[in-house]
């Protein structure tokens, strides 16, 4: 029975599980970081919105009035002082105040104050109905010409109302690079947790896979041991049956045939003599058939003379020229000898019954780490289609190869003979 190294089987099975598992975990990590980055970006924009709301509530709101719409220098200067002291600090780079007609009533860039530009529908919606709007700024607009040196900016719009009932649109610009840095810091902060969790998960899965592979390998080894025990028990039972038949029924029938022959010689009635003679002949034929069956059940030359002699006897039973090539350096245990003999016997029986071959080659040699039996004939051949799988002999050979962990191949074609090749990892 072929044996396998437990460690090699376990490692192979664990790797077969672990490699796609690690690839999947890598994809999961990438998706996790991608999601975390999006969440961090959303959180950074939300922080910019919150900062703008706080600016509106605590800095800008208390200092807006209708005087700004009229261009009152004192009102503008007062608001400008508050903005520069409290708001214009990285990442905030620009603060503006718009009236409903699109006029900039205040800006930290004085040349823009009093200029009028078109407000978009979203900005007018925020001004009239409240809410907050945040988006990447379009720096190509003329009112944004002073901010182009800062790179991409996030602009936040929200309404602001003065104590006198005046209403304006507050616009706060924040550097996107600052938000991206904040996003990167958040992702880096999350990285150890994500990677650690995935590493622990991978370790747990690897340990579970190792344990499962060990258990499966033990089960496989147990099945192999049971199969070996069954094969040995089968051979022992075949020997017992052969011995019982030989020492019991065969001997009894041989005695009956001798007795019938003796009675036929003493019979005075010719008719009785013929009947006794016929019965004796049939009994002797039955004895011969039983002895042939005994050889099939357990060939004595396989047990006593070895596999080479048994293969030679199989070849001698064919009505064809037989060449036998036996590697003398092969040392096979009883299980392997029985397996090769069964395959060779089934192959030669098929040759005798179906092929009409005139030349047969039987060889048993070592190829790599296997002992390989090859039976080739020049008979009529056949098409090895799925329909042939119903042939009992072929099915038995295939089952035997599967049970012992061997390789069985059958190559044939009409008019080109047949080759049966059976490899088994046993012997030295």
- The rounded radius of gyration (Å) of the Cα atoms in the chain is 48
Query: Between residues 228 and 422, which one has the greater pLDDT?
Result: 422
List the structure tokens of 193: 């947790």
The residue-averaged pLDDT of 66-70 equals: 87
pLDDT at position 390 is 47
3-state secondary structure of 184: helix
Q: What are phi and psi of 384, to 5 degrees?
A: -75, 65
CA distance 350 to 207: 51
Question: Over the chain, what is the mean pLDDT?
Answer: 80
Q: Is residue 426's pLDDT more than 80?
A: no
Give residue for tokens 């329909």.
387
Most confident of 157-166, 243-252, 331-340, 379-388: 157-166
Which residues, at least 6 apart from 135, have a Cβ–Cβ distance to it below 8 Å?
154, 155
Task: Name the percent of the chain lying above pLDDT 90.
Answer: 13
pLDDT at position 33 is 65
pLDDT at position 102 is 92
Q: Which helix (H) or strand (E) holds 323?
A: strand 321-326
Q: Which CATH number fits domain 306-424: 3.40.1360.10, 3.10.20.30, 3.90.1570.10, 3.30.565.10?
A: 3.30.565.10
Burial of 311 (0-12, 13-18, 19+ CB in 10 A): buried
Question: Which pLDDT band holds residue 389 (cuts at 50, 70, 90)?
Answer: very low
Question: Which pLDDT band holds residue 4 (cuts at 50, 70, 90)?
Answer: very low
**What would the DSSP string read from start to end of 257-322?**
HHHHHHHHHH-SSHHHHHHHHHHHHHHHHHHHHHHHHHHHHS-HHHHHT-HHHHHHHHHHTSSSEE
The residue-averaged pLDDT of 163-182 equals: 81
Q: What are phi and psi of 164, to 5 degrees?
A: -90, 10
Same fold, 12-183 and 306-424: no
3-state secondary structure of 424: strand
The residue-averaged pLDDT of 94-103 equals: 91
CA distance 49 to 286: 105
pLDDT at position 58 is 76
Contact 347, 419 (CB under 8 A): no
Question: Which pLDDT band holds residue 294 (cuts at 50, 70, 90)?
Answer: low
pTM over 0.85: no
Question: Which pLDDT band holds residue 99 (cuts at 50, 70, 90)?
Answer: very high
**What would the DSSP string read from start to end of 359-383?**
EEEEEEEEETTEEEEEEEE-S----
Domain ranges of the chain: 12-183, 306-424
Q: Which CATH class is domain 12-183?
A: alpha beta
Q: What are phi and psi of 52, to 5 degrees?
A: -65, -40
CA distance 119 to 146: 18
Most confident of 238-242, 281-285, 289-293: 281-285
pLDDT at position 279 is 87
The residue-averaged pLDDT of 6-28 equals: 69
């Amino acid at each position: 029975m072929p044996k396998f190294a437990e460690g090699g089987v376990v490692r192979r099975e664990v790797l077969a599980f672990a490699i796609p598992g690690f690839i999947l975990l890598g994809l999961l990590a990438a998706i996790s970081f991608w999601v975390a980055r999006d969440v961090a970006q959303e959180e950074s924009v939300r922080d910019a919105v919150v900062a703008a709301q706080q600016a509106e509530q605590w800095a800008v709101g208390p200092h807006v009035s209708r005087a700004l719409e009229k261009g009152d220098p004192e009102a503008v200067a007062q608001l400008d002082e508050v903005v520069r002291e409290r708001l214009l600090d990285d990442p905030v780079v620009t603060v503006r105040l718009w009236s409903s007609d699109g006029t900039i009533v205040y800006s930290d860039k004085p040349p823009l104050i009093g200029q009028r530009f078109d407000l978009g529908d979203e900005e007018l919606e925020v001004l009239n109905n409240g809410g907050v709007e945040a988006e990447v700024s379009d720096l190509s607009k003329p009112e944004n010409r002073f901010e182009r040196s800062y790179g991409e900016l996030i602009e936040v719009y929200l309404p602001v109302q003065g104590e006198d009932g005046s209403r304006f649109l507050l616009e706060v610009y924040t550097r996107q690079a600052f938000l991206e840095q904040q996003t990167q810091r958040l992702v880096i902060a999350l990285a150890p947790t994500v990677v650690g969790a995935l590493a622990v998960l991978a370790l747990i899965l690897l340990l579970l896979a190792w344990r499962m592979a060990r258990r499966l390998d033990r089960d496989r080894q147990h099945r192999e041991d049971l199969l070996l025990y069954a094969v040995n028990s089968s051979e022992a039972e075949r020997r017992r049956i052969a011995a019982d038949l030989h020492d019991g029924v065969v001997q009894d029938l041989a005695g009956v045939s001798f007795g019938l022959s003796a009675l036929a010689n003493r019979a005075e009635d010719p008719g009785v003599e013929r009947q006794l003679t016929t019965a004796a002949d049939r009994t002797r034929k039955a004895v011969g058939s039983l002895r042939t069956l005994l050889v099939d059940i357990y060939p004595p030359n396989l047990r006593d003379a070895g596999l080479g002699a048994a293969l030679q006897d199989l070849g001698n039973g064919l009505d064809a020229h037989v060449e036998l090539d036996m590697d003398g350096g092969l040392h096979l245990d009883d299980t392997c000898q029985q397996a090769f003999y069964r395959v060779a016997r089934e192959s030669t029986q098929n040759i005798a019954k179906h092929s009409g071959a005139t030349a047969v080659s039987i060889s048993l040699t070592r190829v790599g780490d296997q002992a390989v039996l090859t039976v080739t004939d020049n008979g009529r051949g056949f098409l090895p289609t799925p329909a042939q799988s119903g042939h009992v002999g072929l099915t038995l050979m295939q089952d035997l190869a599967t049970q012992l962990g061997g390789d069985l191949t059958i190559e044939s074609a009409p008019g080109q003979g047949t080759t049966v090749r059976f490899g088994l990892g046993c012997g030295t």
